[in-house]
């Protein structure tokens, strides 16, 4: 029988909970939309759609803009997109995570000063795409050591570094170290949110103590993917699942210690379902 360690930080972070609550509070209202998936979780998005809230990718998808309410996603949007949505005449509800909004402000203000902007993050992630959209000067996106080593900037202009809020903190430090050795006048803004750092640190600690590790989150969730990568380095027997249906309990049968954590966009009911099933099957003592 196994001992189970459930991460205290597992589940919705402040920004995600705020965004989801903003949508849930409008259940029952007509003509409500989210601009893009409100968070990266299929179960939550389906539940929202089942309650009549539609997901759109473009303002032209609005059926009646004048009476519409558009809730922007937690990842944020570009300045251009924001202006386009405002032009529709719809009511705009900003569900962008406050920590992401802080990065938008930094990038907008620093780029107006002529600074070159480096965003450390995944260029295809909506949060990074939104951040990039607030720059009015040169902007570069770096997520690998190779890109950091190859980057060439204007030595006569300042450089400001920001980060995707959910980026791997250790990897951020490694990339900043490479960039700092290039001799540019660099200002480093560590914009990885505290909740992300705490979640990653706790996941690493738990994974180093257990025989099997379960990471719960949507396949499209960047922060969950990073948790999985962190845990996998510490515990080779790490499983990335979206719901209990993805977990083969038989693969945990030889484990004396089982760890469980979850991404910032994973609902509590999914975490509890996984925990309860694993506990029922294997547990002798819970921590």
Dihedral angle computed from the Cα positions of residues 129, 134, 136 and 137, in that order, rounded to the nearest 10 degrees: -60
Report in angstroms the alpha-carbon separations of 143 from 85, 140, 277.
Answer: 30, 10, 37
Listed in sequence order, the residues at least 6 apart from 178 whose beta carbon sits closer than 8 Å to its beta carbon are 145, 148, 149
Tell me the sheet residues that pair with 213.
238, 259
**Active site (annotated) includes residue 42:** no
At 93, which helix (H) or strand (E)? strand 91-94
Tell me the sheet residues that pair with 116.
159
CA distance 231 to 225: 10
Of 83, 108, 127, 281, which residue is the catalytic one? 127
Catalytic amino acids? 127
């Amino acid at each position: 029988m196994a001992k189970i360690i459930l991460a205290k930080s597992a589940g919705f972070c402040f920004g995600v909970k705020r965004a989801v609550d903003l949508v849930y509070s409008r259940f029952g209202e007509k003509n409500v939309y989210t601009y893009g998936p409100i968070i990266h979780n299929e179960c939550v998005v389906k539940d929202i759609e089942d309650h009549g809230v539609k997901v759109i990718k473009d303002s032209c998808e609005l059926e009646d803009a004048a009476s519409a309410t558009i809730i922007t996603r937690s990842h944020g949007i570009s300045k251009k997109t924001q202006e386009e949505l405002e032009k529709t005449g719809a009511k705009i509800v900003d569900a962008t995570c406050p920590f992401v909004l802080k990065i938008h402000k930094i990038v907008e203000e620093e780029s107006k000063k002529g600074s070159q902007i480096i965003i450390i993050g995944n260029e295809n992630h909506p949060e990074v795409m939104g951040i990039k959209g607030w720059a009015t000067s040169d902007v570069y996106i770096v997520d690998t050591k190779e890109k950091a080593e190859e980057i060439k900037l204007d030595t006569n202009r300042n450089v400001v570094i920001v980060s995707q809020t959910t980026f791997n903190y250790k990897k951020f430090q490694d990339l900043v170290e490479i960039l700092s050795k290039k001799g540019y006048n660099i200002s480093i803004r560590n914009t990885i949110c505290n909740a992300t750092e705490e979640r990653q640190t706790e996941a690493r600690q738990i994974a180093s103590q257990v025989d099997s590790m379960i990471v719960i989150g949507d396949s499209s969730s960047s922060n969950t993917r990073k948790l999985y990568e962190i845990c996998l380095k510490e515990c080779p027997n790490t499983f990335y699942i979206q719901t209990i249906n993805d977990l083969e309990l038989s693969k945990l049968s030889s484990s004396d210690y089982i760890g469980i954590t979850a991404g910032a966009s994973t609902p509590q009911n999914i975490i509890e379902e996984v925990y309860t099933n694993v506990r029922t099957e294997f547990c002798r003592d819970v921590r």
